[in-house]
């Protein structure tokens, strides 16, 4: 099996790349999450939980998703975008790209860590932040295993599936709309699970104590 090494990030946040690499190395090494790298079970039925499927097999690393995210959410040029591209290189020279943002975890550590109650998880599973309540303590950043939360002059900032940019729950965020290869997909976890298994075979959610809503193939 090829070993995989993080190569570079097309954003300025190399620390995030290291966090996501640690969580997803085993998944990407075989290109199909299994074993300790991901939960092999389909999502539990009940309330809708929206999430992302990232198919690294077809991602070209063009960063159209990052540009669309930045534009739609009016992210200042001197601030990090809510979405990032990370690249990996296998020992045999093959490159893979992974587009990541908030994974809208089923058990979000950021929500539990926030002393101001600025972060909430909606009934549809989307984790959102009320910047007016953020006190800038950065406990959410320290608690997130993927290093997702970052900060602007308004407070903590992260992906909200483009709710703040006018996208209705369940509709594709601008990052997904912008992907020319359809490498990044969004929807209910059960629908994503079905689509991913039709494409690559058995898949599982990325494994973490926070239970990310994120398929990686």
pLDDT digits 0-9 by tens, 53-106: 999 999 999 999 999 999 999 998 889 999 999 998 877 778 899 999 999 999
Instruction: Look at residue 24 and tell me whether its pLDDT is greater than 70.
Output: no
Dihedral, CA atoms, 112, 79, 54, 105, nearest 10 degrees? Answer: 10
Instruction: Look at residue 208 and tell me whether its pLDDT is greater than 60.
Output: yes
Map out the domains of the chain with their CATH numbers. 4-105+161-216 (3.30.70.20)
pLDDT digits 0-9 by tens, 124-138: 999 999 999 999 999
Q: Are 137 and 121 in contact (CB under 8 A)?
A: no
Instruction: Look at residue 32 and tell me whether its pLDDT is greater than 50.
Output: no
**Quick one: 210 exposed, middle or buried, by C-beta within 10 A (0-12, 13-18, 19+)?**
buried
pLDDT band at residue 47 under the 50/70/90 scheme: low
- What backbone torsions phi and psi does residue 25 show, to the nearest 5 degrees? -55, -50
- Say if strands 95-100 and 84-90 run parallel, antiparallel, or are unpaired: antiparallel
- What backbone torsions phi and psi does residue 215 show, to the nearest 5 degrees? -95, 135
Instruction: Look at residue 162 and tell me whether its pLDDT is greater than 60.
Output: yes
User: Which of 182, 199, 4, 200 has the alpha carbon at shortest distance from 95?
Assistant: 4
pLDDT digits 0-9 by tens, 102-154: 999 999 999 999 999 999 999 999 999 999 999 999 999 999 999 999 998 89
Distant-in-sequence contacts of 193-202, Cβ < 8 A, 24+ apart: 193/42, 193/43, 195/53, 196/53, 196/55, 199/55, 200/31, 200/32, 200/55, 200/57, 201/32, 202/32, 202/34, 202/40
Which letter, b or e, does each residue of 1-16 get, where b requires 16 or more Cβ atoms within 10 Å of its Cβ? eeebebeebebebeeb
Give the predicted TM-score (pTM) of the model.
Answer: 0.80
What is the reported pLDDT for 78?
A: 86
Tokens 């093959």 correspond to what residue?
94
- Spatial separation of the C-alpha atoms in residues 137 and 107, rounded to whole Å: 20
Query: Which DSSP string do the residues of 32-51 spell out, in sequence order?
Result: S--GGGEE-SPPPSSS--EE
Tokens for 160?
Answer: 């909200």
- Spatial separation of the C-alpha atoms in residues 103 and 122, rounded to whole Å: 14
């Amino acid at each position: 099996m090829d070993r995989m090494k993080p190569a570079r990030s097309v954003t300025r946040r190399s620390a995030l790349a290291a966090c996501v690499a640690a969580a997803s190395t085993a998944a990407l090494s075989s290109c199909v999450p299994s074993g300790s790298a991901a939960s092999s079970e389909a999502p539990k039925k009940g309330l809708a939980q929206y999430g992302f499927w990232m198919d690294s097999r077809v991602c070209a690393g063009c960063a159209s998703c990052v540009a669309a995210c930045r534009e739609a959410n009016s992210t200042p040029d001197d601030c990090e975008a809510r979405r990032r591209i990370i690249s990996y290189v296998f020992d045999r020279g093959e490159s893979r790209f992974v587009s990541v943002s908030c994974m809208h975890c089923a058990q979000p550590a950021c929500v539990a860590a926030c002393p101001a109650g600025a972060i909430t998880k909606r009934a549809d599973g989307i984790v959102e932040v009320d910047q007016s309540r953020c006190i800038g303590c950065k406990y959410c950043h320290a608690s997130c295993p993927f290093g997702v939360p970052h900060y602007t002059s308004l407070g903590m900032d992260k992906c909200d599936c483009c709710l703040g940019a006018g996208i209705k729950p369940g509709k594709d965020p601008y990052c997904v709309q912008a992907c020319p290869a359809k490498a990044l997909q969004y929807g209910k976890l059960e629908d994503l699970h079905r689509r991913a298994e039709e494409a690559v075979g058995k898949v599982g959610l990325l494994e973490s104590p926070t239970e990310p809503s994120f398929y990686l193939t």
